[in-house]
Amino acid sequence: MNAPSRMDPKARTVLQLCGVVAFMVGLTVAAVPFYSWFCSVTGFGGATLTADEGSETILDQTIRVRFAANTASDMPWEFRPAVAHVDIRIGETGLAFYEAYNPTSQPIAGSASFNVAPFIAGGYFVKIACFCFEEQILLPGERVQMPVTFFVDPAIIDDAEARDIPAITLSYTFHVIDLPEDYAALGAAD
């Protein structure tokens, strides 16, 4: 009968260090999707929630929803909210518009990132429909109105930290993205 062979202590240490490195790489790869999921579920960091329809409960209490618009430094679009704010009853479905204009001679595709401030309100700000759910393509000289349908969840009044928030700011930033192939060919033809 042969005795089980023992691993050299240096080899065991190297193997353990390789295991630690592999574990750390795995955590790094999983961190971004996990954080995105966590933010979308909890509203942490100003991420908003989504729903297929509005709230069944509408309260008498109102809250001001402010709208802000920005563009990334490489985005040539002009982008602004149609109105600066609305006062809406908590639970009531609201509709707001943002306007985008492409002053260039080329089609440009954009994607909007967003957040809500204060961050704690993100868990109660619910989007039903939004231009930010899809990429937007503006042709040269095109101006569009882009809607967002939303409500503030009545559960906000049950949160001791959030119930006295007088206003929520919904902010979008448009970023340039690659044009789809059929539009890219159109831009190259000019």
> What residues in the chain have per-residue pLDDT under 70?
1-5, 24-48, 183-190
Asked if 85 contacts 66 with a C-beta cutoff of 8 angstroms, the reply is: yes
Cα gap 76→102, rounded to integer Å: 7
Pick the CATH number of 45-189 from 3.90.660.10, 3.40.50.300, 2.60.370.10, 3.30.1540.20: 2.60.370.10
**Residue 45: its pLDDT value, please?**
44
**Residue 9: its pLDDT value, please?**
81
**Residue 55: its pLDDT value, please?**
85
**Residue 40: its pLDDT value, please?**
44
pLDDT digits (tens, 9 = 90+) for 9-60: 888 888 887 777 777 666 665 544 444 444 444 444 445 677 788 889 999 9
Counting beta carbons within 10 angstroms of the beta carbon of residue 159, is it exposed (0 to 12), middle (13 to 18) or buried (19 or more)?
middle
Q: Tell whether pTM > 0.95.
A: no
**Residue 145: its pLDDT value, please?**
97
**Residue 27: its pLDDT value, please?**
60
CA distances from 53 to 14, 43, 47, 57, 163 (A): 56, 18, 18, 12, 23
**Residue 5: its pLDDT value, please?**
63
Instruction: Give the DSSP H/E element, type plus range, for residue 20.
Output: helix 9-42
